[in-house]
Structure 1
Amino acid sequence: MSLIAFLGALESGLIYAIMALGVLISFRILDFPDLTADGSFPLGGAVAAVSIIAGFNPWVACLFGMMAGMMAGIVTAWLNVKIGILHLLAGILVMTALYSVNLRIMNAPNLSLLGEPTVFTPFISGDNGMWVRVLVAGAVVVVVKFLLDWFFSTETGLAMRATGSNLKMAQAQGINTSFTIMLGMAISNGLIALSGALFVQTQGGADISVGIGTIVVGLAAVIIGETVLSAKKIFLITLSVVIGAVLYKLFIQIALSSQTLRSIGFGPQDLNLVTALLVAIALILPKFRSKALSAFGMGKKSAKTGGVS
């Protein structure tokens, strides 16, 4: 893998790490299987692209995209907690509706940002573009991660974690679980939309199809991160998700650059197939890991028993 390919994968992994942190909140913290991500990711990109073209500062455009994603998350949560629609179905409904909303926002299937200023533009000079995008994306990830670490140590954050851990018990303790779910879903989809806003600026334009498979990537990052760094503390949990997102993108790049895969017919057009295979492997690995640890523990126990007898 060339240096350019490595930096590209690292840049993409860091941007998707923000999205994966959003998926972590819905799937792990709130225990809310949310499929809105496939719609809120391109929503953030669409709003940011339109805002930049309209002359807004790129950082302000990212904020607008994040706010749009937060509203999408609130709608999904509202359909679930207030109307009583199953969370999976609520996410599907909002995701489907967002496809048309995104088309309305862009007024076209795609928008070009070539020649427009981005959050990376002020730092780029000469041929340092690849490095700059990695550093800026990394800085945003660090800020988001530490803000989440701080938030989940507050009373509201702890209430949100309690809601996802045991809804009935949280209600018995007087926690307004409807509010915490809606707030959590807003933060989750806001981060996913922020990731989309940054992504379109690295790609040179927004496209209606950029959100396809977003939730798969997010889940893969969470699962890979948990496999690599299994932890209970929120600081390590968020760190594991960032590591998982970067590793996932690096694995994808390595797989697509592999001469072995090319020799058996795999190519760039097989990206989704390779993605599905990697996610399946990530899901299987923890089971093998637990079996291996169990077998090791049994072996130690047997050895001790034999020594006593």
Structure 2
Amino acid sequence: MDFYLTALLQGLCFAGIAFGIYISMKIFNIPDITTDGSYTLGGVVTGAMLTHNQPGYIILPAVLLAGGVAGALTGIIHTKLKINALLAGILVMYGLYSINLTILGRSNLPLLSMPTLFSAVNLITDINQNSLMILIVFVLIITIIIGYLLKTDFGIAMRATGNSEPMIRALGVNTDRMKIIGLAIANALTALSGYLVVQQQGFADINMGIGIVIFGLGSVIIAESVINRLRITSVWLSLILVMAGAIIFQFVLAITLNIGINPNMLKGVTAVFVLLIVGLPRLTGRQA
């Protein structure tokens, strides 16, 4: 039972990555690889500030700001320097490795003795269940904020930029600015996942972000398959499905390990799982 509870906790921690990928890839149609670096950035900023005894009300804004700056930098390189979005993300991600290592000061930083979000708030006595309650409240608040943002005039302009950039530009909207702000928001959410994961697992690692984009992508693809099949147009329901996708993705990995698959094969299984999610609906559609 604790095994699957851990998977649920991990899925909730990764909800920020899923939301970030949803904004960058599904709203703006930008394949943003900055995710790997901004996720680690959120984790190392959290770890470094915890070791310097900084309070939570300072750490959280600092993490969001750091992730937002990383995303904005990718957006500026893409829009102002006219560099392909994929390459812009790779360049920023590559540069962030050195920045993350400088902030962390070492390759791995243990935080087990440090006060964290999950130790500071005690709703119930059981540690895992207490963490679950905190994460549910935290993720719901983030979901409500994002949903509200996407329903505002600014959010509608963001969505229109991804759907029809020439049209929204003709209406006087600065699409370059929209992309920069959108990528900043997406990477701030990704850094938020790093903030949660580091405190939940008790350490920060310089390599924690390698390949992490596949978790967010898999979560969004799971949600998208349901959205397309049921023809869902509600922003709120779409966000809930993206969050559920992150949890389902973690449960699939947990089940894979629980049935005895070699942990060394976990990334291979993950790649096959994402491939099946992407490919099966299209194969089924062709046969139909």
TM-score w.r.t. length of structure 1? 0.89
Deviation at 1:58, TM superposition (A): 2.9
In the alignment, structure 1 residue 86 sits paired with structure 2 residue 84: yes
Residue 130 (1) aligns with residue 131 (2)? no
Structure 2 partner of 1:252? 253
User: How far apart are the structure 2 equivalents of 1:211 and 1:31?
Assistant: 22
Choose the corresponding residue for 2:220, options 219, 222, 233.
Answer: 222
Q: Which residue, 268, 274, 280 being the options, matches 1:279?
A: 274
Are the aligned partners of 1:256 and 1:267 in contact in 2 as well (CA < 8 Å)? yes
Structure 1 residue 126: deviation in Å?
8.3
Partner of 1:239: 240
* CA distance in 2 between partners of 1:199 and 1:160 (Å): 29
Question: Residue 59 of structure 1 contacts residue 119 of structure 1 at CA under 8 Å; is this kept in 2?
Answer: no
The Cα of 1:60 is off from its aligned counterpart by 2.7
CA contact (8 A) 1:27 1:34 kept: yes
Q: Which amino acid aligns with 2:282?
A: K
- Within 1, Cα distance between the matches of 2:190 and 2:120? 24
Residues 59 and 280 (structure 1 numbering): CA distance in 2 closer, same or farther, change over 3 Å? farther
Q: Does the 8 Å contact 1:58/1:117 carry over to 2?
A: no
CA contact (8 A) 2:124 2:130 kept: no
Tell me the equivalent position of 1:193: 191
Matches within 5 A, 1:20-39: 20-39=18-37
**Does structure 2 conserve the Cα–Cα contact (< 8 Å) formed by 1:47 and 1:105?**
yes
For 2:241, the aligned partner's letter is S
CA-CA distance at 1:14 after TM superposition: 0.6
Distance 2:179 2:264 in 1: 38
Partner residue in 2 for 1:18: 16
Q: Post-superposition shift, 1:122?
A: 2.4
Is 1:227–1:285's contact at 8 Å kept on the other side of the alignment? Answer: no
Determine the C-alpha separation between the residues in 2 that align with 1:284 and 1:46. Answer: 36
Instruction: Determine helix, strand or coil for the equivalent of 2:116.
Output: coil
1:49·1:61 contact (CA, 8 Å) conserved in 2? no
1:68 paired with 2:66, answer yes
* CA 226–126 in structure 1, closer or farther in 2 if over 3 Å, else same: closer
The 5 Å alignment of 1:84-123 reads 84-123=82-121
RMSD: 1.5
Paired residues of 1:21 and 1:241 also in contact (CA < 8 A): yes
The CA deviation string for residues 21-58 of structure 1, in whole angstroms up to 9 with x for no partner, is 01100000111110000000000000011111111123
Instruction: Give the secondary structure class of the aligned counterpart of 1:152.
Output: helix
Please give the alpha-carbon distance, in whole angstroms, between the structure 2 residues aligned to 1:275 and 1:176.
38
Q: How does 1:138-149 map to 2 (within 5 A)?
A: 138-149=136-147
8 A Cα contact 1:63 1:194, kept in partner: no
**AA matched with 1:251:** V
Give the unaligned 5+ runs of structure 2.
none
Q: Unaligned regions of 5+ residues in structure 1, if any? A: 296-309
Q: Secondary structure at the match of 2:151?
A: coil
- Structure 2 contact 43–197 (Cα < 8 Å) conserved: yes
Cα offsets for 1:53-110 (capped at 9, x unmatched) = 1111234312211110000000000001011111000000000000111001111111
Separation (CA, whole Å) in 2 of partners of 1:228 and 1:169: 28
Task: Kindly provide the amino acid, as one letter, of the partner of residue 166 in structure 1.
Answer: S
- TM-score, length-normalised on structure 2? 0.95
Letter in 2 for 1:275: T
- Show the counterpart of 1:268: 263
Q: Find the aligned partners of 2:126 and 2:168 in 1 and give their Cα distance.
A: 50
